[in-house]
Structure 1
Amino acid sequence: MAEMKNTSLAERDQLNRLLKFLETEATIGPGNDPKRRTSFPMFGRRSMANATQMDMAPKRSLANGSPLDYVPSIVSPPLTNHRMHTVYVDGWSPVAVKRGDTILFPSGPRKSANTLGGVPICLETAIDLRKIVYGTPIHSFSREWRKSTFEFMCIDGQFPYGIQTLRCGARGLALCVQAYMLKQLIFDREYKSSALLGSGALCPNEFERRRALIGAICEILWQAGEKKRCCVCLKEQEACFGPDYRYKMDGITEKLQLFEFKRYEDLQNFVKRNLEQFQSDSGNGCILFLYSLVLSRTIQKVKDDLQEDHDSKLKLLTDMEDADQSLINLALTGRATPHMHNGDLLYDSKGQLLPKPVHGIKSRSQAGFLFWDKGEDPEKRTEVGSMLKTPKNPIWVTKVNGLWGLVFSLNPDLVSDWRVENRFTMWYYTGLVTQVKPTLLSIETRIGRPRPKTGLARKEAENKIPPLEQCIMTKWYGADIKWNGTLPFI
């Protein structure tokens, strides 16, 4: 009898402590409702089984008559009602110390928070890059190449859609990016409206032209990687390897961090976060893009495209550091072939079978290419195939007497409907600060320009034709071109 009395007193003491805990449960844990009874989860499979048995057991009442649902044997601490979310960040912001109105940052080089990860470049890859681009790992890029970036023109000026270029070899590569940027602005707009049709597409705001540049960089790199993978090169503060007798440091190549992507969406997000490295004055934007283009195609495939053998020394830059035709083809078509004809050539001009096929352009590119040089023999001029002359979009990179430029039309039917080619207009853009106003060309091909009757008069008339018109006539032979008040400057 005494034993049963002691047991009931112990149970009553335990129940009293439980009631005090239930009365203060509303203040335990964040976000708990005071009117809502907190449940006590049981841990483990055996505890859950015990909890089920307790639910099925008959209810008991306390000594004071108040009902009690169940009496748990183990009291567990309450859990929060909301599930915890994991947050991923690119990197933590640098610690700053504020002294009065002055914010002091820690001294010394700091890596960019957006460039965490990637693979540092190795010595062998750096040597191969310099060889395939420059021809030797001993010499490096000139000062003009280092200063070349994808900097926008003034948004309040005459060319808010344009990239500012310098008079150096990087200008041809920058205009290839400009061609794809115009494709994004005019024909691949994300938000289309009647106000943005026609010449309105050439007046983008800051967001639109930034989005177009990101899309142009991503599309060129993704095309070079055969739309399966690509590589983006960014420059870090420190070199990835030490000095070596086979390689001369240039302050750029040995500091590269390589990022590989297999999804186009990931590439877009990464370029969007790191676009400043391609645009800043100290970022070497054109060089980083050139390296990214080569590594996206892979060095071995670039060598195969160049058809390199033991006797040739083919490279992507000429001896004057100008962009070679193979580099222009790599940016426009995704293949670094140095030739501009269609398909593969199996026979030479004399009908003899070649030792191996000469690879040309295999499909229509997104942007085309036109060429003219007055120093060439009229009987042996460089022929550009129809794959480059008739691209998928009416945008052409031009090289006239060694000077790079860009002609484009706002009418997408110009390359798909022959009736539109009777009379149309085109814009000419150089990317130089010397071009102070837009150049609009009116082209008429149905009647054409007047043709002299005699051969001597015809030759004199051809010598008076501006070189840019000669270049355009390689696509539309005999076209009559008006400059609409602009003096022919090329």
Structure 2
Amino acid sequence: MGDPGAGRAAPAPLQEIASRISDLSKWREIFSSCGLEINSTTHQQGPSSAGPGPPGAGESPGSQPPSTVPRPLLLPRGTGGCPISPDTAMRLQRLLFGSTAPLFSCEWAAARFSFHPPRSHLAYALQAGQGGTRAILAAVQAHIITFLLFTRETECTHLERLCRLGHREQGQALATALAETLWAAGGGGRAVVCLVTAPVTTMPREGCRADSFTERIRLFEFSEKAAAQEFISDHINCFKGEGSHGVILFLYSLLFSRTLERVQEDLGDAAPLLNISSGNITCTEVGSAACIKRSGFIIPTSSLGKKISLARHCHKLGAGHGLHGRLPVCPVRAGCFPQAVLSLLLTGRASPRQLGGGGEPEPGAGDGGGGEAACPRGRVGFLRWERARRQRQVSPGLRTPRLPVWLCSLSGRHSVLFGTDSRLLSDWKAERIFHLYFYNGQQEQTQTARLTIDTHSHHWEEAQREGPCSPGRRCPALEMAIRTKWPGATVSWNGTDPFL
């Protein structure tokens, strides 16, 4: 006779197989409800499989279509938080896009807060994203620099504070910057952090298109900034890891910290927060809602309830090309100032005119004009220069922040300008000749550019020869933006070729 325990051990494999089949059926229902399909060939491991690991780790590059959105990092069950409701998900999409139809592009889904290698010349710097995500990344970068230079306790000085960072210090800086902006958006009394869970937590309402991402959101609310920062630090890979949807999660967190109702009040009759133009998603410029028609197309706006009428033009513009038709085309100008989003990041309010307006100045308008001087001095400032048109002056409170760190919008491209001397904006003697540093996020930039600013130069002698913006001598946009803060100053690039 055989081993008496053999008969009892036999059912175990059968039970495991039955359990796996049950799990597979459950996931099939979830994917089917989200409008997705499970391709059995996609999940087969080939000879090049790397073995056990996270989903997708052992798949060959050709096993998925090029436009597949990276899988988000998922929280385990029992983490807590509140699931997003169907009504809230619908209001969120309307606030972002003006309708419930559009979805984020793969470019946005792949955007995350990824640093350059630690202990390098750019260890403090985030790798810039593409298109509309660059503005958000640059604004967070400014907050990261503020923390590293003027808040963090370390024996390092000046640029050493930015370069001598390890992985842990990078994560700490990012967590602090995210928590600071969320806390400011919450009015100094609350912060909401959005993370993604494994199961779908809600089903979309009829007429609201599912994206298999927003339906998995859970909201974690904190009434203390330190607790929010600690939570973000514990889950920092959910914002910086590959496949994390980090930028979208942070944008969601920002809106929920402010609350959707208050963001809508801040916007007033302005356009939705995001534009879709030829497949590119960018942040909306102030005043876009007033321009209902451009080039014969109808622009959807939340305040006017206009509908998209682009069917006969889709074949001309390639609507949703490469994105399986997910993104309808909305021909709003792509080169726009993301006024409301940047205002929320810098001031805690999504007011389109909080940064000083984006249109042409009114006749006889003074510096700032229209109540723009009411914007208080914050920790991070804002400078702007646009060659294509005249523009309102940036609010004095943002041109002169409490600390010498500025987010710059230079001809629609976003970068960061900063100084290492905390006295620069509080002691007039420090503003005679001083140094500023510039990072624009381009791959070509391998070191931080060092500029020397001379505010007591003989600029009238230069005016006798040739104007700074004459056709024969086009000054870099950065220099013109600096002169909006220090009129007549000369800027030396110290041997570096000027760039944006």
Q: Which residue type is aligned with residue 205 of structure 2?
A: D
Alpha-carbon distance change, 483 to 461 in structure 1, aligned in 2, over 3 angstroms: farther
Match of 1:199 among 147, 151, 159: 159
1:124-139 map, 5 Å: 124-139=87-102
Q: Give the 3 Å change call, closer, same or farther, for CA 361–290 of structure 1 in structure 2.
A: farther
CA displacement, residues 205-231 of structure 1 (integer Å, 9 cap, x when unaligned): 332222111111111101110111111
TM-score, length basis structure 1: 0.70
Contact 2:86 2:204 in 1 (8 A): no
Deviations 1:218-268 (A, max 9, x none): 111011101111110001223222243321112221211111111222212
Are 2:274 and 1:317 aligned? Answer: yes
- Superposed, which structure 2 residues align to 1:60-139 within 5 Å? 112-113=75-76, 116-139=79-102
- Matched residue SS, 1:303: helix
CA change 1:182–1:107 in 2 (3 A) is closer
Q: Distance in 2 between matches of 1:453 and 1:482?
A: 17
Verify the 8 A CA contact 2:451 2:494 in the aligned structure 1.
yes
Counterpart-to-counterpart distance in 2, 1:140 and 1:269: 31
Distance 1:447 1:457, change over 3 A: closer
- Report 1 or 2 for greater relative contact order, CA contacts < 8 Å, sequence distance ≥ 6: 2
1:367 to 2:380 alignment: yes
Distance of aligned partners of 1:288 and 1:471 in 2 relative to their CA distance in 1, 3 Å threshold? same
Q: 1:361 to 1:254 in 2, by over 3 A?
A: farther
Q: State the SS of the aligned residue for 1:412.
A: coil
What amino acid is the match of 1:332? L
Q: CA deviation at 1:350?
A: 7.8
Normalised by the size of structure 2, how large is the TM-score? 0.69
Structural mapping, 1:142-221, within 5 Å: 142-189=105-152, 191-193=153-155, 196-203=156-163, 204-221=165-182
Tell me the equivalent position of 1:81: none
Q: Which runs of 5+ in 1 are unaligned?
A: 1-101, 352-356
Give the whole-Å Cα distance in 1 for the aligned partners of 2:385 and 2:215.
Answer: 38
Paired letter, 2:191: C
Instruction: Provide the C-alpha distance between the structure 2 equivalents of 1:489 and 1:150, rounded to a whole number of angstroms.
Output: 24
Tell me the residue number matched to 1:485.
495
Decide whether aligned partners of structure 1 residues 192 and 127 sit closer, same or farther in structure 2, where only a CA change above 3 A counts: same
Relative to structure 1, the CA distance from residue 152 to residue 105 in structure 2 (aligned partners, 3 Å threshold; closer, same or farther) is closer
* Distance (Å, rounded) in 1 between the aligned partners of 2:475 and 2:54: 62
d(CA) in 2 for partners of 1:174, 1:457: 34
Aligned equivalents of 1:359 and 1:390: distance in 2? 13
- Contact in 2 for aligned 1:340/1:388 (Cα 8 Å): no
3-state SS of 1:330 partner: helix
CA contact (8 A) 1:367 1:395 kept: yes
Instruction: Determine helix, strand or coil for the equivalent of 1:234.
Output: strand
Query: What amino acid is aligned across from residue 220 of structure 1 in structure 2?
Result: T
Corresponding residue pairs, total: 371
Aligned to 1:97: none
What percent identity do the matched residue pairs reach?
32
Partner of 1:391: 401
Q: Find the residue that maps to 2:403 and give its secondary structure.
A: coil
* Matched residue SS, 2:491: strand
The aligned amino acid for 1:362 is C
The match for 2:449 among 435, 439, 443 is 439
Question: Counterparts of 1:106 and 1:395 in 2: how far apart (Å)?
Answer: 39
Counterparts of residues 243-322 of structure 1 (less than 5 Å): 243-308=204-269, 312=270, 314-320=271-277, 321-322=281-282
Tell me, in whole angstroms, the C-alpha distance in 2 between the residues paired with 1:476 and 1:409: 14
CA drift at 1:374: 0.3
SS of 2:170's equivalent?
A: helix
How has the CA–CA distance of structure 1 residues 453 and 104 changed in structure 2, closer, same or farther, with 3 Å as cutoff? closer
CA separation in 2, counterparts of 1:103 and 1:143?
27
2:421 to 402, 411, 419: 411
8 Å Cα contact 1:115/1:234 also seen in 2: no
Deviation at 1:461, TM superposition (A): 7.4
Contact 2:76 2:197 in 1 (8 A): no
Cα distance in 2, alignment partners of residues 478 and 392 from structure 1: 22
Aligned equivalent of 2:432: 422
Q: Assess if the C-alpha contact under 8 Å between 2:356 and 2:393 holds in 1.
A: no
> What RMSD in Å do the two structures reach over aligned CA positions?
2.9
User: Quick one: structure 1 residues 298 and 485, their matched pair in 2 at CA, closer, same or farther if it must change by over 3 Å?
Assistant: same
Instruction: Map Cα deviations across residues 409-458 of structure 1 (whole Å, 9 max, x no partner).
Output: 00011111111111111111012322122211111001254544559756
Distance 2:55 2:134 in 1: 37
CA distance in 1, matches of 2:373, 2:273: 16
Aligned to 1:334: 348
